[in-house]
Structure formats: structure tokens, C-alpha cells
Amino acid sequence: MWLLTTLLLWVPVGGQAVNVTKAVVTLQPPWVSIFLKENVTLWCEGSRLPGDSSTQWFINGTILPISTPGYSITKAMLKDSGEYSCRTGLSMLSDPVQLEIHKDWLLLQASRRVLTEGEPLALRCHGWQSKLVYNVFFYRDGKYFQSSQGSEVTILQTNLSHTGIYHCSGIGKNYQRYTSAGMSVTVKELFTAPVLTSSLPSPFLEGSPVTLSCETKLLLQSPGLPLYFSFYVGSKILEDRNTSSEYHIPSAEREDSGLYWCEVATEDGSILKHSPELELRILGPQSSAPVWFHTIFYMSMGIIFLVDTILCVKIHKKFQRKKNYNLEVLLVSDQGKKDTSS
Ligand SMILES: *[C@@H]1O[C@H](CO)[C@@H](O)[C@H](O)[C@H]1NC(C)=O
Ligand SMILES: *[C@@H]1O[C@H](CO)[C@@H](O)[C@H](O)[C@H]1NC(C)=O
Ligand SMILES: *[C@@H]1O[C@H](CO)[C@@H](O)[C@H](O)[C@H]1NC(C)=O
Ligand SMILES: *[C@@H]1O[C@H](CO)[C@@H](O)[C@H](O)[C@H]1NC(C)=O
Ligand SMILES: *[C@@H]1O[C@H](CO)[C@@H](O)[C@H](O)[C@H]1NC(C)=O
């Protein structure tokens, strides 16, 4: 689990920097809500000195009289509900895990209440006293999203759209459809979608050095998390999975103009986000006027030439017709003169 390795924190101890990890509470079976009288074991995972298995357990911030890595709750009672956290010899206090004990016909069980995008989420529609439930439907925010032949589904890679209130329904005894209560699940963003920026505002003259920066923000306190940056222009890869968030063009040429974008990914590629496109326009040395100016200039010249030609042809034709008419009039009047004279 890469998240475990990314929870590394720098803690100065006696003037010396020592890597101390946060402990993690896991459940077995994994469900954070269970029925009354069911069993669950909580485990505390964290660094320990060799030979030291001692563990501290807390419920609602109060220390429990237990020092084993596993804490078993058998035949859970309502008073076992609470926020559990733990600590081992070489670890910091874990994030709390909220365990709820319920009494109902049907229970929506989830493997986590709060998780980070990319992590899996298991859901189960569980009948009271493990009675069989058929034809199970799962809902998020009141909308059906999946059915299951069994009573369990897993979302392998969660994203932000999986945040919501989950419930389930299923057919139980007397062929009646039962509906569970809702349970809130929150998926947290690990890093923001990146934004690509250029060290020079576009357009600029060719020959200039340019640096493109792919900027993202890590939202969890996980400074050790390695991120990989890729840079593209159009569909062409410029730089593939580098740990540097910058891409340098030592001397930008006119042909380097185009639509640039970048992508940020985790080491295993389970989370991948890309930036909007950034247009770079690089101008040649003589042409200080941008390309659109030339286009419009030549197009207008072309149109003027075309209109001129058409006008010329029309005027010429009109002129010729007038000439013919004058000639006719001349001939007719000549004829008249001849007629009257004869
Ligand atoms: C702490 O961990 C980092 C890598 O995560 C490593 O480079 C460094 O050497 C470690 N420091 C100590 C004191 O163990
Ligand atoms: C819980 O554990 C107790 C003691 O180990 C056992 O008797 C009981 O059957 C278990 N209950 C369930 C629901 O598994
Ligand atoms: C812990 O707190 C929850 C709610 O805040 C409460 O329902 C539960 O009874 C508390 N558990 C203990 C053991 O104090
Ligand atoms: C989230 O994951 C679902 C699949 O589980 C996928 O259909 C959806 O497009 C994803 N949403 C985002 C914003 O990545
Ligand atoms: C990653 O980028 C740096 C700085 O731009 C560069 O020096 C290095 O060669 C690149 N590494 C790889 C594997 O491409």
C-alpha cells in the first residue's frame, strides 16, 4: 500500500531528524459498522523496536487497558461504539477509526468512512443475524448505482465522485424488500488537477528560452509522496514521467508553437490528472506582426482584387453596349434623314 509509505513525517528528535510513521488501525473483518453481538478485531500497524510489541489503544481519546497489537471485540455492545486510535513504540498516534454498533434488519457496511482517491472501497449489504439477502441494490445519494448477486461490491479505484451517502436494499424474509440506513463516505483529493504555466507570456519572439511549469498542490500532509510529470504538445510526448515539474525549451523556434498540456501521476499511475491546454505562439524574427494579421491582409487584398476585376468587366460591358446603341441610333437617324430627303 503506497499510502502507508507516504505517511512519512519528519520529526526532529533530540536535534536529529528521524522518520516516524503514523500508526494505522485496520479492522478484521474490514467493516466500520457492525451489528450488535458481532465480533471484530482491531489491529495496530506501525513501526516497533525489535522485540517490542507493546501498543497503546485509545477510545474517544481515552486510553484503554490493553497493550496487544490486536484488540478483539466479541459480542459487541452499543457502548463499544466510538473512535479508536492507537500508537506503537516507533509510531505517532494513528488517525481515528470510527466503529459503530447497530441494531436493524439491514446494514450498509463500508470498509472506510474517509479515504483518499485511488484507494478501494468495499461495500456490503448485511442482514441481521447474517440472514440471507437477495437481489441487493446499492445507492449513492439516493441514486441506484450497482446491483449484486452476492451482497458485496468493491469500487477498485475511488475518485472524488464516489463521495456521498450510501445505502442498500435487498429482499429478505417473506420476500419483502428491506432498506438500510444511510452511511456517509468521503473521498479526499490527493493532489489538485495541475495548471500549466509558461515563463514567457505568449506570443514571444523565437530564440528565447522558455520554462513550462506543471503546478499542482498536494492536499494531504504527505510530503514524501513522489509525483511524476509528463509534458505534451498536441498528442506528442515531450517528457514522459519525470519527477521534475518543469520542462525547459532552451531556444524556442517558430515550429514549437502549439497547444501544450501536462499530466501528473502517482508512482503506480493509479491517479492521473491532466492540465488544461496552454497555447504557445512563437514569432519569427522579421515578422513582428502575428500570423492572423498576414492572413487578414492577404485575404482583404484578394477580395479587393476580385471586386475590382468584376467591376471592370461590368463597366467594360456596359460601355460596349452603349457604343452599340449609339451606333444603332446613328444608323436609324441616318436612315430617317435618307427617307426624308428622298
Ligand atoms: C528518511 O526517509 C527518507 C526517504 O523517505 C530517506 O531519504 C532518509 O534517509 C531517511 N532518514 C532517516 C534518518 O532515516
Ligand atoms: C464471536 O466470538 C465468540 C467467541 O469467540 C463466538 O462464540 C461467537 O460465535 C462469535 N460470534 C459471531 C457472530 O461470529
Ligand atoms: C464515544 O463517543 C461516541 C459518540 O461521540 C459515543 O456514542 C460512545 O458511547 C463513546 N464511547 C465511549 C466508550 O465513551
Ligand atoms: C470516477 O470513477 C468512475 C468509475 O468508477 C468513472 O466512471 C468516472 O469517470 C470517474 N470520475 C472522474 C472524475 O474521474
Ligand atoms: C528529468 O528532468 C531533468 C530536468 O529537466 C533532466 O535533467 C533529467 O534528465 C530528466 N530525467 C529523465 C529520466 O528524463
The per-residue pLDDT for range 23-53, each reduced to its tens digit, is: 999 999 999 999 999 999 999 999 988 888 8
What pLDDT is attached to residue 308? 73
Q: What are phi and psi of 135, to 5 degrees?
A: 50, 60
Q: How large is the average pLDDT for residues 229-252? A: 96
What pLDDT is attached to residue 20? 73
Q: How large is the average pLDDT for residues 220-249? A: 91
Residues 6 or more apart from 229 whose CB is under 8 A from it? 194, 214, 239, 241, 242, 243, 244, 245, 247, 262, 263, 264
- Atom number of ligand 5 nearest to Cα 247: 5
Q: Which ligand is nearest to the CA of 228?
A: 5
What pLDDT is attached to residue 291? 61
Predicted structure pTM score: 0.72
Instruction: Cell numbers for 108, please give them.
Output: 450498509
pLDDT in tens, 282-301: 998 765 555 666 677 678 77
Residue 6 clears pLDDT 60, i.e. is over it: no
Q: Does ligand 5 lie within 6 Å of residue 68's CB atom?
A: no
Q: Which ligand is nearest to the CA of 117?
A: 4
Q: How large is the average pLDDT for residues 252-257? A: 94
Residue 118 clears pLDDT 60, i.e. is over it: yes
Residue 317 clears pLDDT 90, i.e. is over it: no
- Atom number of ligand 3 nearest to Cα 60: 1
| CA-closest candidate to residue 21, choices 84, 93, 71 | 93
Average pLDDT of the residues of the chain: 86
- Atom number of ligand 3 nearest to Cα 78: 9
| CA-closest candidate to residue 248, choices 205, 209, 277, 280 | 209
What pLDDT is attached to residue 135? 93
Q: How large is the average pLDDT for residues 92-114? A: 96
Grid cell 513525517 in the structure block, residue: 9
What pLDDT is attached to residue 284? 86
- Specify whether the CB–CB gap between 231 and 212 falls below 8 A: yes
Residue 227 clears pLDDT 70, i.e. is over it: yes
Distance CA 53, CA 87 (A): 11
Q: Write out the chain in H/E/C secondary structure.
A: CHHHHHCEEEEEECCEEEEEEECEEEEECCCCEEECCCCEEEEEECCCCCCCCCEEEEECCEECCCCCCEEEECCCCHHHCEEEEEEECCEECCCCEEEEEECCCEEEEECCCEEECCCCEEEEEEEHHHCCCEEEEEEECCEEEEEECCCEEEECCCCHHHCEEEEEEEECHHHCEEECCCEEEEEECCECCCEEEECCCCCEECCCCEEEEEECCECCCCCCCCEEEEEEECCEEEEEEECCCEEEECCCCHHHCEEEEEEEEECCCCCEEECCCEEECEECCCCCCCHHHHHHHHHHHHHHHHHHHHHHHHHHHHHHHHHHHHHHHHHHHHHHHHHHHC
Question: Bigger pLDDT: 308 or 336?
Answer: 308
What pLDDT is attached to residue 342? 44
What pLDDT is attached to residue 68? 95
Instruction: Cell numbers for 219, please give them.
Output: 492536499
Torsion, Cα 127 131 136 142, to 10 degrees, reads: -20
Q: Does ligand 3 lie within 6 Å of residue 76's CB atom?
A: no
Q: Does ligand 3 lie within 6 Å of residue 108's CB atom?
A: no
pLDDT in tens, 145-183: 999 888 999 999 999 999 999 999 999 988 999 999 999
In one-letter notation, the amino acid at residue 138 is: F
